[in-house]
Amino acid sequence: MAVARNDRDIIERMFKAMQTGLAAENDMMALFADDAVFTEPFSGEPQTHEGKDAIRSCFREMWSAPEPDMDLTVGRVDMDGDTIRAEWTCTSPAFTRPMKGHDLFRIKDGHIQYLEVIVTDMPPMEMGGGEA
pLDDT tens series, the chain, 132 aa: 788 999 999 999 999 999 899 999 999 999 999 999 999 998 778 999 999 999 999 999 988 887 888 899 999 999 988 999 999 999 999 899 999 999 999 999 999 999 999 999 988 766 554 443
Instruction: Specify the pLDDT at position 124.
Output: 78
Instruction: Specify the pLDDT at position 126.
Output: 63
Spell out the domains of the chain, with CATH numbers in brackets. 5-121 (3.10.450.50)
Instruction: Specify the pLDDT at position 125.
Output: 67
30 Cβ neighbours under 8 A, 6+ residues apart: none
Instruction: Specify the pLDDT at position 6.
Output: 93
Q: What's the rounded Cα separation, in Å, for the pair 104 and 106?
A: 7
CB 40 within 8 A of CB 58: yes
Kind plus residue range of the DSSP H or E element containing 26: helix 25-30
Helix or strand or coil: residue 127? coil
